[in-house]
């Protein structure tokens, strides 16, 4: 029998699960790395997906807690999509993916893991990034640690923030 070692999963298994909304944060930037928050605009935030499909899988959410797209003000909708475009540009520059999956899962039935707070997914894709492990073992092999991905993307988000100031 072969084994696939994933010791970082133990943190998920033994830690208390968050009951608060993962997108509703107090704005305290001191915990951003721990919470995997890469960027905040005035109306949106960007964070790494803690359970990604591929490395660099980002979540983009309005700051305001809502699950209803119709409740978004025009400024919030515009900011979400400008932030999405920023994420796409940064991922392209830093990780050089060959494509992207971009989507919104509205409601639990549609696959939303956090259905009480609207959010967008942007998933960088490379030719051959899915393999037999997903098909045969219902398992994804992530080649890079989340904090390594975070540290690789953060400088580009900081640079982008400085350009808009």
Rg (the chain; Cα; Å) = 16
Among candidate residues 39, 57, 65, 119, the one labeled active-site is 119
CB 46 within 8 Å of CB 39 = yes
The yes-or-no answer on residue 121 being catalytic is no
- Least Cα distance to 61 among 10, 137, 12, 114 occurs for 114
Residue 41 and residue 131: Cα distance in Å, rounded?
36
* Three-class SS state of 78: helix
CB atoms within 10 A of CB 121: 21
Task: List active site positions.
Answer: 119
């Amino acid at each position: 029998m072969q084994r696939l070692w994933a010791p970082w999963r133990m943190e998920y298994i033994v830690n208390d699960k968050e009951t608060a909304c993962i997108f509703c944060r107090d704005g305290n930037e001191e915990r951003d790395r721990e919470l995997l928050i890469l960027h905040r605009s005035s109306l949106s935030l960007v964070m790494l997906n803690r359970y990604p499909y591929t490395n660099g899988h980002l979540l983009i959410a309005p700051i305001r807690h809502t699950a209803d797209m119709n409740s978004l003000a025009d400024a919030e909708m515009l900011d979400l999509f400008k932030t999405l475009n920023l994420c796409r540009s940064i991922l392209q520059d830093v990780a050089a993916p060959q494509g992207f999956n971009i989507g919104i899962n509205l409601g639990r039935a549609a696959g939303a893991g956090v259905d009480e707070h609207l959010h967008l997914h942007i998933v960088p894709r490379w030719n051959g990034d899915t393999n037999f492990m997903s098909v045969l073992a219902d398992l994804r092999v992530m080649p890079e640690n989340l904090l390594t991905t975070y540290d690789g993307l953060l400088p580009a988000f900081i640079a982008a923030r400085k350009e808009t100031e």
